[in-house]
Each structure stands twice: as structure tokens, then as C-alpha cells.
Amino acid sequence: MNVLFCLTPKEKVAYLFNDYTIRQALEKMQIYRYNSIPILDRHGKYVGTLSEGDLLWYIKDHQLDFSKTEHTQISKVPRNKDNVSVPIHTNIEDIIDVATRQNFVPVLDDFGSFIGIITRKDIFNYMVKQMNQETKDIPNP
């Protein structure tokens, strides 16, 4: 099954632009209760994933107080790892392994623009449906 069937569209996903400040990132992550969040450029291209840990280590290493977070762009924050993204034509079965290592999988259109995410929960629900369907298909003896 194509990832589009489980996609949470961009309009329903909190994300950051790469020119946002650390303060803006912290506030958005707090509001949405995300521990990692997609970063886009102003053209809608997926840039990477910012995590709470990335922010914490940057603040610690640069001894930033909260007022300085208003003037430091997240593009200056080194990221530990970016979530692997997949193209729009990918099948759900092909991203199960990827989803074991990251909270969400960014989905990109044919031009590389971010169109949404597939969450681990989406994949888990898909797998449960598949297992239930297989159980129904087994004839009773």
C-alpha cells in the first residue's frame, strides 16, 4: 500500500523553517509536545530534523541564556541525525525498518518538497490491520 494512504499532510504537521530561532523552535516543540520536528526551507524542501537533544547540547556548549535563543537561528545548531525521508511513491511495507529508528518518516513529492509525515503509530496501525486481515483469511478447520 502506498504511503499516501497513511500520510499526515503538511497542513496538519508542525514544522520549522530553517531561519527560525532557537526560541521559536523551543516554543513550537513545547506547544505540540514534539521531541523532534521537521525543518523546511522557505521553498518547502525538507532540510532535516531538529531534536530536543540537538537544542539542549547547543545551548549547553554555547552557554546560551534564554534571551540569546531569540537571536540564534536553528540553522546554526548541529543535528545529531536527520530523519530519513521517502518519495511519494514508496510503499508502507518499505519503510517499516526506517520507522524503527525514527519517530516519523518525512514524505517528499517528486520535486523534493515536503508533503507530510508517516508516524510510527500510522505504520503500527497498518501492520495490525494487515495481521487482522490475514487472520480473517485463514479458513476455520
Residue range of the domain that includes 112: 3-137
- CATH number for the domain harbouring residue 55: 3.10.580.10
Q: What is the pTM of this model?
A: 0.87
**pLDDT for 25-79, tens place per residue?**
999 999 999 999 999 999 999 999 999 999 999 999 999 888 889 999 999 999 9
CA distances from 126 to 10, 26, 51, 132 (A): 20, 32, 26, 10
Q: Given this model, what pLDDT does residue 140 score?
A: 64
Number of domains in the chain: 1
CB 74 within 8 A of CB 22: yes
